[in-house]
């Protein structure tokens, strides 16, 4: 189908303002939150109903036109990067909360619903939706499912995959699938887990049924300052080792502390080399006991200051600093390149030490903020894209961090996905036989490779061209670190 014919065919069932094809209209969609990579889409469509989504996919399937799904555009791996000769399918207008069921503690929502709005809608029932990415005020639930997003409280309550029950998914042929169930289990293959985190490569999500949980009676945060980042890293392991699973446990290094405090004024200790935020929630008695145990462990681990939130306003302020880390980075650097690797907690202190050495090697500051409890790192490499080669240096720095994560038994992503950013590191993470299985799964859902092409799973040819060797064959580039 030729370009004018395609535009006209879309306008038959979509309003004129829902089919964008002029450069000035499509340019705002050229990237997601990872602005280092940009591509203007051929056409942007903004359907308002599931029927319109189905019709769009049928046209694309018949004409072999690539389709990239996009939610709120807050992703940080280039997962929603458009295709130059394809359609960008924006789902922001599918934003209705269809049902809140306080009896089954579920909510049925469309993919464009903002994460935080689910909890707001359930608040009157004393319920909320647990996964809370830092961008929860803006990010959409469809994107959360596509990337299997986590957040500050995922240590205790799990990732998106642990908090959803059912999906409606449209295949590239325009067929509607209902995956999962309202019950505790479903016979057959676990397609719900397969679709969650599939980065828009297997189908288009048009409805999500999420689990809701009761709001805890009490929540309290311990803010702990350390004069050594290794002590902070060891403190994390000590808390988990004591059998305590906090509601959330986050860490920030010195650069992050200063950036955030100058932005939010959360009351962080500016003398600290690292700060840990550790939250307990539950009944008043449970929280009191757990906070005391955590405080004792922190003191034994070498804390120089321990501050416990005295009320809800102070608790939220402590967390506001952590959640504002990304915009705070934008205040101290023209650009930043955010990584998202996950490592075993026991290697936390070692890995942070190597990141510090890499920062010196590349002469680029690195601001570390991360989900310490589950080892999900978010190093923000600060650079200036206006200076020659700085982006290239930032990419090389980031690639070394990801390789290091693999070497210590971790993975190249925790919640941001692979997208286009980390696709070369997939060649190191997985063996050829494993990549072949990924391609087979993709072909089962999308044999023509039209859904989000070129993302998440590299071709074997790409791996060969980049000379990538699998991780079990790589010489240890970081001898200070243990091999897994």
DSSP sequence for 300-352: HTT-SEEEE--SHHHHHHHHHHHHTHHHHHHHH-SEEEE--EE--GGGHHHHH
277 shares its domain with 400: no
Mean pLDDT of all residues in 61-66 = 97
291 shares its domain with 387: no
Residue identified by tokens 């409890």 is: 373
In the listed set 75, 90, 105, which residue is the last one of a domain according to the structure? 90
168 assigned to some structural domain: yes
Asked if 273 and 349 count as a contact pair (C-beta separation under 8 A), the reply is no
C-alpha–C-alpha distance, residues 467 and 456, integer Å: 18
Asked if 299 and 306 count as a contact pair (C-beta separation under 8 A), the reply is yes
164: domain CATH number is: 3.30.465.10
From first CA to last CA, the distance across the chain in angstroms is: 52
Phi-psi category of residue 456: left, alpha or beta, with phi > 0 → left and psi -120 to 50 → alpha:
left
Task: Write out pLDDT tens, residues 252-283.
Answer: 999 999 999 999 999 999 999 999 999 999 99
Percent of the chain with pLDDT over 70: 96
303 shares its domain with 404: no
Task: Write out pLDDT tens, residues 281-340.
Answer: 999 999 999 999 999 999 999 999 999 999 999 999 999 999 999 999 999 999 999 999
C-alpha–C-alpha distance, residues 121 and 94, integer Å: 16
225 shares its domain with 209: no
pLDDT at residue 475 is higher than 90? no
Pairing of strands 341-342, 376-377: antiparallel
Task: Write out pLDDT tens, residues 405-421.
Answer: 999 999 999 999 999 99
Task: Write out pLDDT tens, residues 3-15.
Answer: 899 999 999 999 9
Asked if 1 and 10 count as a contact pair (C-beta separation under 8 A), the reply is no
363 shares its domain with 454: yes
In the listed set 153, 185, 214, which residue is the last one of a domain according to the structure? 214
187 shares its domain with 250: no
3-class SS string, 122-138: HHHHCEECCCCCCCCCC
348 shares its domain with 430: yes
416 phi/psi in degrees, rounded to 5: -90, -15
484 assigned to some structural domain: no
pTM of the predicted structure, to 2 decimals: 0.93
Q: Which domain holds residue 284?
A: 218-327
pLDDT at residue 438 is higher than 60? yes
Confidence band (pLDDT; 50, 70, 90) for 469? very low
Average pLDDT for the chain: 93
Tokens found for residue 253: 């290094």
322 shares its domain with 340: no
C-alpha–C-alpha distance, residues 393 and 389, integer Å: 6
pLDDT for the residue 254: 95
pLDDT for the residue 467: 64
Residue identified by tokens 């038959």 is: 12
Tell me which H or E stretch contains 97. Answer: strand 97-101
pLDDT for the residue 337: 94
79 assigned to some structural domain: yes
DSSP 302: T
C-alpha–C-alpha distance, residues 153 and 162, integer Å: 12
Tokens found for residue 29: 């969609």
Mean pLDDT of all residues in 330-356 = 91
């Amino acid at each position: 189908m030729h370009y004018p014919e395609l535009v006209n065919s879309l306008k038959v069932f979509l309003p004129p303002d829902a089919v964008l094809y002029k450069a000035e209209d499509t340019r705002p969609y050229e990237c997601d939150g990872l602005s280092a990579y940009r591509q203007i889409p051929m056409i942007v469509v903004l359907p308002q109903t599931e029927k319109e989504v189905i019709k769009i996919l049928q046209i694309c399937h018949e004409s072999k036109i690539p389709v990239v799904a996009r939610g709120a555009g807050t992703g940080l791996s280039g997962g929603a990067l458009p295709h130059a000769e394809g359609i960008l399918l924006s789902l922001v207008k599918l934003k209705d909360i269809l049902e809140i069921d306080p009896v089954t503690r579920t909510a049925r929502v469309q993919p464009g619903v903002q994460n935080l709005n689910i909890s707001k809608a359930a608040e009157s029932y004393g319920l909320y939706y647990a996964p809370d990415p830092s961008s929860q005020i803006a990010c959409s639930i469809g994107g959360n499912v596509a990337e299997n997003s986590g957040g500050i409280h995922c240590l205790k309550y799990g990732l998106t995959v642990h908090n959803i029950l059912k999906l409606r998914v449209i295949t590239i042929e325009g067929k509607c699938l209902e995956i999962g169930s309202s019950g505790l289990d479903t016979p057959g293959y676990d397609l719900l887990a397969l679709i969650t985190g599939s980065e828009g490569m297997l189908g288009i999500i048009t409805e999500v049924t999420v689990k809701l949980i009761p709001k805890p009676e009490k929540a309290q945060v311990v803010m702990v300052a350390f004069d050594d980042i290794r002590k902070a890293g060891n403190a994390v392991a000590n808390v988990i080792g004591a059998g305590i699973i906090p509601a959330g446990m986050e860490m920030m290094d010195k650069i992050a502390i200063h950036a955030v405090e100058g932005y939010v004024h959360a009351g962080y200790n500016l003398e600290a080399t690292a700060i840990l935020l550790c939250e307990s929630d539950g009944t008043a008695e449970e929280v009191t006991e757990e906070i005391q145990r955590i405080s004792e462990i922190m003191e034994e681990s070498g804390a120089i200051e321990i501050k416990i939130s005295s009320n809800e306003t102070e608790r939220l302020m402590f967390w506001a600093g952590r959640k504002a880390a990304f915009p705070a980075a934008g205040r101290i650097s023209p650009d930043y390149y955010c990584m998202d690797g996950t490592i075993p907690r026991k290697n936390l202190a070692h890995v942070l030490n190597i990141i510090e050495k890499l920062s010196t090697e590349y002469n680029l500051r690195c601001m570390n903020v991360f989900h310490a409890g589950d080892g999900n790192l978010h190093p923000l490499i600060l650079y200036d894209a206006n200076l020659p080669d700085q982006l290239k240096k930032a990419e090389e720095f980031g690639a070394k961090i990801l390789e290091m994560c693999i070497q210590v038994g971790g993975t190249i992503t925790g919640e941001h996905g692979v997208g286009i950013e980390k696709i070369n590191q997939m060649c190191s993470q997985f063996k050829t036989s494993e990549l072949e299985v990924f391609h087979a799964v993709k072909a089962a859902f999308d044999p023509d490779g039209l859904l989000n092409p070129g993302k998440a799973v590299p071709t074997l040819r790409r791996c060969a061209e980049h000379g990538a060797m699998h991780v079990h064959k790589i010489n240890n580039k970081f001898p200070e670190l243990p091999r897994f």
